[in-house]
Amino acid sequence: MKMTFRWFGEGNDSVSLNHIKHIPGVEGIVWALHDVPAGEEWPMDKILEIKEQAEAHGLNIDVVESVNIHEDIKLGLPTRDKYIENYKKTIEKLGKVGVKVICYNFMPVFDWTRTNLFQELEDGSTALFYEKAIVDDMDPIELVSTISNNPDFTMPGWEPERLEHLTDLFQAYKEVSEVDLWNNLHYFLEAIIPVAAENDIKMAIHPDDPPWPIFGLPRIITSQENIRRLLNLIDSPYNGVTLCSGSLGANPENNVAEMVREFADRIPFAHIRNVKVYENGDFIETSHRSEDGSVDILEIMKAYHDIGFKGYARPDHGRHIWDEKCRPGYGLYDRGLGIMYLWGIWDSLNRYKEQGDVK
C-alpha cells in the first residue's frame, strides 16, 4: 500500500508540504490544478511547478484528484467532443511527468454534498454533516432564487459565484435520465481510456457522495452492482475505481470490504474514512477508528491486506480538532491520526501474517 496525502497547493491550504513529509509512511501528494476550470487543458508549466515543489520535499505526484469533467460531457451535448479532446491532452501531459492515477467523478452539478460543514460531535470536535431531510425537501430551482435574495444563507456548493449557473444546469439535467448518464459516461470512457493506456495512467472514478440521487439529479456510481457495471463498460485495467469507504459507507447496504475483494485488480486508489449513519438517513464524518462510526475500517483494511493491495491510498476527510483552522474536512491533525490508525492495522496484519496467525 502506497500512502498519500491530499494537498491543495501553496497559498491554498493550511497544510504545507513540510507538514506532510513528517507523517510516517507518506510517499506522495494527491493534487490538482484547482484554478484551471473544468474542460480546459492543463498548462504544462503549472504541472511542472507542482512536481518541483513536491519533489523538493521528497514526495511524488503520482495521483491527481481531480481532472474535473465539464458538464457538457455529462449532459452529452454536441460540445462535449471539444472538452474530451482537452481531457486527452491533459492525460498526455500528466503521463510525461510520471502520474499513474487520475481520480475523477461523474456527478452532475455537485461534487460531495453536505448540509453543515462544522457539525459538533459529542467530544466537541466538528465534522462534515449531511441532513437527509433538508436535501430531500429542497426544490433546487426555487432554492437558487431564495439564496439569491438571502445573502446569509450558506450551504456547501451553493457559493454566490455559482448561483447564476445553477438554474440553467438544473433545467438542462431535467432531460437527462440515469440511462442517459450511463451512456454519456460510456462515450467519455471509450474516448479517453485508450489515451490513458498509452500513457500508463489508470483512470479511477470516485463513487457518488452521497450514493443516491439528490435534487432530482441522477447518480450512478452508488453500489457494488453499479461499480461492476462501470468496470464492464470498458474491460481494461486502465478503467478503475477510487474505492471510497466513506462515500459508499453512507448507505449501510454497501459492503465495502466485499467490494475490495471483488474489484481487487481494478482499485488503483483507495479513500479510507469513516461515517456514522443514523436511522433517519443522516450521517456525519467521524474519526477513522471503526468503533467511532458505522463503517468497519478494520475489516476493510483486512480486505486490502488479503488481496495484497499495492495501490495508492489516502485518509479521506477528517474531523476538525485541537482548534485547527482549516479547509472543511481537510485538517492536518485528524487525517494524520487517521494515517497512523491505518498503519497500525496494516503493520499488525503484516506481523500476524509472518507468524501465521491471520485468519
Nearest to 290 by CA among 270, 310, 276, 309: 276
The Cα–Cα gap between 121 and 114 comes to 15
206 catalytic, yes or no?
A: yes
The Cα–Cα gap between 339 and 318 comes to 11
Q: DSSP assignment of 239-262, as one string?
A: EEEEEEHHHHHTSTT--HHHHHHH
Q: Find out whether 42 and 90 touch, Cβ atoms under 8 Å.
A: yes
Sign (positive/negative) of CA torsion 142, 211, 217, 318? Answer: positive
> Which of 316, 320, 333, 341 is flagged as catalytic?
316
Nearest to 128 by CA among 109, 110, 146, 114: 114
> Which of 87, 130, 173, 330 is flagged as catalytic?
330
The C-alpha cell that represents 95 in the structure block: 503521463
Eight-state DSSP code of residue 212: S
User: What is the C-alpha R_g of the chain?
Assistant: 20
The Cα–Cα gap between 280 and 284 comes to 12
83 catalytic, yes or no?
A: no
Q: State the CB neighbour count (10 A cutoff) for residue 56.
A: 10
> Which of 244, 296, 305, 341 is flagged as catalytic?
244
> Which of 206, 288, 305, 320 is flagged as catalytic?
206
The C-alpha angle 307, 311, 313, rounded to 5 degrees, equals 105
330 catalytic, yes or no?
A: yes
> Which of 317, 320, 333, 341 is flagged as catalytic?
317
Q: Is 37 helix (H, G, I), strand (E, B) or coil?
A: coil
316 catalytic, yes or no?
A: yes
Q: DSSP assignment of 315-354, as one string?
A: E----B-TT---STT--HHHHHHHHHHHHHHHHHHHHHHH
> Which of 70, 103, 208, 271 is flagged as catalytic?
271
The catalytic site residues sit at: 206, 244, 271, 316-317, 330
